[in-house]
Amino acid sequence: MPPVRHSFSQYYAAPSVTRQGGTAAGSALTGAGTNTAHALAAERRVLLVGGAGAGKTTLLQWLAYTAATAEFSRDGESEGPWRGVVPFFVPLREFADRGLPQPEDFVRVTAPALAGEKPARWVSELLRSGRAMVLVDGVDEVLQPRREAVLLPALRHLEIKSNDVVHDLEGLVACRALRSVWITGFSSALTDLSALSRMHLTDLRLHAGTLDAIKALASVEGTYLPRLSVRHRKLVDGLDVLPEGLRVGELVVDMGADQRDLRGITRLADVHTVAAAGIPSVAEVDELAALPALRALVLTAATPARDLVRLRRLGGLRIELSGLAPADERAAREALPEADLVLHLDRAASITER
């Protein structure tokens, strides 16, 4: 009796998903269920979490099937959410006792019969162009020692988004290559950043909806942070929300000019570079001038040009300005004759240096 073929799409119903958003009171589900494929297609990286038997593997296989069998319209365009995307299903359980596959091995892992027909560096080109869908299955099935030995050392960037579970960063100390950590959304659970003293970060971003993560900076007293980017509505009242004595090299205040106040920055004596939006007020310039290590000031939306005269007190400091129209170049140079001025004119279309 010949085998009977059944369509995956006919007998598998992908679960609908709901979007989760943060509120001041916590996290809440918002909106009705939406198509899984369309919901996931909007994200570059997705972590799928579920207990044993929850259907994680089947969902990944369905995603691979959906992308691989996407129907095309008459004009050659895909009618699904993934246009011209090539899926690669990588089950980690097959690599529990050996090294993880390199990108050019993905075809052999996903479809061994086609491995010999793959053009040279085809997978790498797909990855670079954003046309590859890499579906990694079974992270929880890799033995813990193997997971730490193989997966953690390769991690270079991590974003902790809308976290209400993780209280500290101790689990990241083993990530020797980790250089960038972004904490965003309503991450109210994270209250201990002391593990940063045993890590080698070059970029820490705290763009949290609550003050908890920013207050947690008090736990890294004495640890030098090469670059710290902060965003919170309380910054409109000044930088007093940051712990006094915090050691920071470059401070980025990622708020609109009318939503931030640089006063209080003198508590960060190690700062050598400050980046912010808008032209600082006279009071803010007074505090910037008092910073002993300040070498550079980077300003976006640095308008109007006539207000740049307030920065004269900073003398020969390197000042980088963006957001000025080409017609404002002369006014900017006349306002700051002593500054080591870098101008990004017309939205960085032209760059001139003095």
Neighbours of 273 (CB within 10 A): 18
- What is the per-residue pLDDT for 222? 87
- Tell me the residue type at 11: Y
Query: Looking at domain 145-353, which CATH architecture does it have?
Result: Alpha-Beta Horseshoe (3.80)
Q: Where are the beta strands (DSSP E) in 113-234?
A: 132-137, 157-161, 180-185, 203-208, 224-231
Per-residue confidence in pLDDT tens, the chain, 354 aa: 666 666 666 667 776 665 554 444 444 444 455 667 777 777 788 888 776 677 888 889 888 888 888 755 445 455 566 778 899 999 988 887 777 888 999 999 998 888 888 899 999 999 998 889 999 998 766 655 555 555 566 788 988 887 777 788 887 887 888 999 998 887 677 888 999 999 999 999 999 777 888 888 999 988 999 999 999 999 999 999 998 889 999 999 999 999 999 999 999 999 999 999 999 999 999 999 999 999 999 999 999 999 999 999 999 999 999 988 899 999 999 999 999 999 988 654 444 444
CA dihedral 19, 79, 58, 161 (to 10 degrees): -30
**CA 208, CA 191: separation in Å to the nearest integer?**
12
Mapped onto helix, strand or coil, the DSSP state of residue 21 is strand
Pick from 206, 158, 150, 212: nearest CA to 180: 158
Q: Where are the beta strands (DSSP E) in the chain?
A: 17-23, 26-34, 86-91, 132-137, 157-161, 180-185, 203-208, 224-231, 247-253, 273-277, 296-300, 318-324, 340-345, 350-353
- What is the per-residue pLDDT for 70? 73
Helix (H) or strand (E) holding 82: none
HSE of 188, CA atoms in CB hemisphere, 13 A: 10
What predicted TM-score, i.e. pTM, was given to this entire model?
0.61
- What is the per-residue pLDDT for 147? 52
Q: Are 288 and 262 in contact (CB under 8 A)?
A: yes
Residue spans of the domains in the chain: they are 8-141, 145-353
Our measurement of the distance from residue 296's CA atom to the centroid of its chain's CA atoms, rounded to an integer in Å, reads 24
Pick from 161, 157, 206: nearest CA to 185: 161
**CA 232, CA 216: separation in Å to the nearest integer?**
14
Return the structure tokens found at 6: 């059944």
Return the structure tokens found at 105: 């091995």
